[in-house]
Structure 1
Amino acid sequence: MHTHPSEVQISTDCWKAARDADTVAKDQWLAARRAEEQAAAIEWAERFDMPPLEGSERALAWGERSRFQLVTAAYTALVSEGTWDEADWAVLEDKIRSISRAGWWIDQVRHEAPHNRVEVEGLHRRPVAAWVAKLRAA
């Protein structure tokens, strides 16, 4: 049994249309997720008196989300689920406030999840010891 070339083209066209529709849906989902996370990052920064970041307009939003992801993940791993107390955390939190370059926070997320740079899923389950050491050294 042979497939006629026009049938292959139809299958290819259907596949391309499905792929393009998936891309649109994914882009919409990603934009909504980033907007939600951006709002959460801004609310968190205000609540915990984090200073504004410095950088380009594009880097600022990404940096705010990155700082939010990393710091909340570190708090969960070290304090909520770990052995640190609030006094230990307060020392680290002062250091966190001293890093104002958005690019620094972005670089930490890139390093933490190099194969998933769009969204960092499950970051709280990753070891944070190396990141905390970098933060202390910065």
Structure 2
Amino acid sequence: MAIRTNWEIVHSCGHEVTHNLSDRPADRRAGFARWLAGRDCTVCWRAARDSDTESKEAWLAARRAEEHQAVTDWAARFEMPPLEGAEKALDWGARSRHQLVTAAHTALVLEGTWSDEDWSVLEEKARTLTRASWWIDQRDAEGRDLPELLDAATDADRGTENPFR
């Protein structure tokens, strides 16, 4: 006799839904059905998720504040200059710079073969790039690619002390 694929599940919200579990191995269907019974149905789960925007916003604000503090502390510790650009891009650019530079340090120094002297040269190059948008554009790059990215940066990506530029 074949193991059934359609299961009538009474969810914890009280709704009864037929679930097709044919995409699961036969020996895992009963356990998954039991797990589903302990959860709200999809409709109720979405409604609860969409109505709980205050706690999501509070969580996101707290997370952003933690990230901002970590990035600010890191920038001060390693003497990274403030970034330039649109006000909306500054935090995102700083976060992107922090993530890429720390990933590069891990890949090149901690897991790679670079010496501290090699890293110091790269870190100095990174300090010259103060355009937030440049760092945002590199947000998906691998840490090991940072040396090549820094070499490819143009003068337009570097800051200037001339306020009339």
C-alpha change, 1:129 and 1:13, in structure 2 (3 Å) is closer
TM-score (norm 2): 0.61
Q: CA deviation at 1:131?
A: 3.2
* Counterpart residue identity of residue 14, structure 1: C
In the other structure, the counterpart of 2:114 is: 84
TM-score (norm 1): 0.71
Structure 1 unaligned spans of 5+: 1-6, 113-126
Q: Superposed, which structure 2 residues align to 1:43-122 within 5 Å?
A: 43-109=73-139, 111-112=140-141
Conserved in 2, the CA contact under 8 Å of 1:92 and 1:136?
Answer: no
Q: CA deviation at 1:107?
A: 0.8
What is the distance in 2 between the residues matched to 1:39 and 1:88? 28
What is the distance in 1 between the residues matched to 2:90 and 2:144? 25
C-alpha change, 1:26 and 1:131, in structure 2 (3 Å) is farther
* Counterpart residue identity of residue 131, structure 1: L
Conserved in 1, the CA contact under 8 Å of 2:102 and 2:143?
Answer: no
Q: CA deviation at 1:19?
A: 2.5
Q: CA deviation at 1:63?
A: 0.7
Conserved in 2, the CA contact under 8 Å of 1:54 and 1:102?
Answer: yes
Please report the RMSD computed on the Cα atoms of aligned residues, expressed in angstroms.
2.4
Give the structure with higher Rg (CA). 2
Conserved in 2, the CA contact under 8 Å of 1:63 and 1:102?
Answer: yes
Say which structure is richer in strand: 2
Structure 2 unaligned spans of 5+: 1-14, 17-40, 154-165
Say which structure is richer in helix: 1
What is the distance in 2 between the residues matched to 1:93 and 1:12? 49
Q: Identity of counterpart residues, as a percentage?
A: 60
What is the distance in 2 between the residues matched to 1:54 and 1:137? 19
What is the distance in 2 between the residues matched to 1:83 and 1:47? 24
Larger RCO (CA within 8 A; separation ≥ 6): 1
What is the distance in 2 between the residues matched to 1:40 and 1:66? 12
